Amino acid sequence: MVLDVNWAVKWLTLCAQAMAEHRVELIELDRAIGDSDHGENMDRGFQAVLDKLAEAPPATPGAALKLAAMTLMSKVGGAAGPLYGTAFLRAAGTMGDAAEIDPAGWAAAVSAARDGIVARGKAEPGDKTMVDAWAPAADAAKAAADTGGPEVLSVLVAAAEAAEAGAVATDPLVARKGRASYLGERSAGHRDPGAASSALILRAAVGAAA
C-alpha cells in the first residue's frame, strides 16, 4: 500500500461520505453545546471538495490536500472552516510535490495539521476542541512511524485510533474555547463536535488505504 494521489482522492471522498452519514449526529452534538450547524457545515464543505476534485483532478497528494484546504476554508464557515482549512494546508505543505507519502510523511502531515489548528485557534489539549483529537493523533502517528516498520497502514490506524479515543475523552471536559465555552460547566457531559468530525477524517484516511 502506498499513499499516492489515488489514496488522497479516495480519502477526501470517504471524508465526504462520512460527513454525509454522520451529518445528523454532528448536528446533534453541536446542538447540545453549540449552534447545531457543524454537521451541515462539514457535509456541505466536503461535498464542495468532491466537486472541485472532479473539476480539476490533482496530480499529487499535496495538491489534493491543498485543494481541500482552499475549499473547506471558503465553504465550511464558522470556527471549523478556517481551522480545517489551515490543517489541510499545513499538511499539504509537508508533502510538497511528493508522489507518495511514507510513514514518517504521514506523521509529519498530522503533526503539521495539529500545529496549524493550534496556531489558528490557540486551544490547548483539554480545552474540549478538535485539538483533543489531533494532538493525540499526531503523537501516536509519530510514535508508530518511529518504532514501526515501513508499513504505512499501521501509522494511519494509530492516528485514527488516537483521534477516536481523544474525541471520546472530550465528553467530561469543560469547554475553554469556541462557542461551547459560553456554556461553562454545562458543556461537560457532551462530546465536542469538532473532535468527533476530526476522528471521522482520520478514520477515513485508513479506509482509503484498506
∠ CA 54-58-64 to the nearest 5 degrees? Answer: 95
Residue 192 engages ligand ADP in binding (rule: CB under 6 A) = yes
30/161 with CB nearer ligand ADP: 30
C-alpha to C-alpha distance for 73 and 93, rounded to whole angstroms: 16
Per-residue interface string for the shown chain with Mg ion, residues 4-33, x marking contact by CB under 5 A? --------------------------x---
Residues 18, 200 contacting (CB under 8 angstroms): yes
> Is 64 a binder of ligand ADP (CB under 6 A)?
no
The CA distance from 80 to 121, in Å, is 10
Helices assigned H by DSSP within the chain: 5-21, 23-33, 38-55, 61-75, 80-95, 103-121, 131-147, 152-168, 193-209
**Which residue's CB is nearer to ligand ADP, number 49 or number 195?**
195
End-to-end CA distance of the chain: 8
Per rule CB under 5 A, is residue 35 in the interface with Mg ion? Answer: yes
Distance CA 117, CA 165 (A): 19
Determine if 195 is a binding residue for ligand ADP (CB under 6 A).
yes
- Letters for 157-186 (x = contact with ligand ADP by CB under 6 A, - = none) are --------------------xxx-------
All three cell numbers of 58, joined, read 490533482
In the complex, the smallest distance separating the C-beta of residue 124 from Mg ion, rounded to whole angstroms, is: 20
DSSP bridge pairs for 3? 101
Provide the mask over 78-117, with x wherever binding to ligand ADP is found by CB under 6 A and - wherever it is not. Answer: xxx--x---------------------------------x
Q: Which residues bind Mg ion (CB under 5 A)?
A: 30, 34-35, 37-38, 78
Q: Which residues bind ligand ADP (CB under 6 A)?
A: 30, 34-35, 37-38, 41, 78-80, 83, 117, 121-123, 129-131, 177-179, 192-195
